[in-house]
Amino acid sequence: MRLIGLAITLAVSLFAAPLTAEAQSAGKISRIGYLFVSPPTSPSPLRIAFIQALRDIGWIEGSNLAIEIRSANGRPERLPALIGDLLRLKVDVIFASDPVSAAAARQATAEVPIVFMTLGDPVAGGLVDSLARPGGNLTGCAGMDPELAGKRLELLKQIVPRLTRVAFVVSPSSPMSPPHV
């Protein structure tokens, strides 16, 4: 989980880097919009890692950073209104913690940088043009590339030598699901 937080922080930092000099000289507080579909619970492990990784590189909430957290409470149709709220607050970057939020943010703005976290293929899901050159205002982390599935199974077999069955569950309605699901 720590690696995920660091990867996210690196991506956010790349977008926020030009703001650093301005923030230090003018006392500006940078704003991150943190967007997700699922109902809010106590801080998720992802959110905890995200905030800690930001702290590790000097971004402290309440000091030089404000994090505007918005949840669609499991209702994706609420995302456009939530994104509109973040845009009215003039966030410097939007962090979309799931592919549905990232897709909605992409439709809502071409100006504000969007950092996404997805378990699927962001190219197949229509978020970016390519991994090498995402294009537009999106970048992020993709964790479940199909090309790595064989290696993951190989590692799992090494960890659990008597393993005989493995199940892989995906949501076919997710824009990040492989096309054959």
Write the pLDDT tens digit of every residue in 14-56: 555 555 444 444 578 999 999 999 887 777 787 888 889 899 9
Residue 49 falls within a domain, yes or no? yes
Contacts of 156 (CB under 8 A, 6+ apart): 163, 166
Residue 141 falls within a domain, yes or no? yes
Residue 16 falls within a domain, yes or no? yes
CATH number at residue 52: 3.40.50.2300
Residue 152 falls within a domain, yes or no? no
pLDDT on residue 9: 55
Q: Which domain holds residue 109?
A: 2-145
Q: Does the pLDDT at position 154 exceed 60? A: yes
Residue 20 falls within a domain, yes or no? yes
Number of domains in the chain: 1
Q: Does the pLDDT at position 7 exceed 70? A: no
Stretch 118-125: mean pLDDT, rounded? 77
Stretch 122-126: mean pLDDT, rounded? 82
Region for 126 from its dihedrals, namely left if φ exceeds 0, alpha if ψ lies in -120 to 50, beta otherwise? left
Which residues, in sequence order, are bridge partners of residue 34?
69, 95
Residue 166 falls within a domain, yes or no? no
Residue 157 falls within a domain, yes or no? no
Q: State the average pLDDT for the chain.
A: 79
Q: Does the pLDDT at position 119 exceed 90? A: no
Is-contact 50 9, C-beta < 8 A?
yes
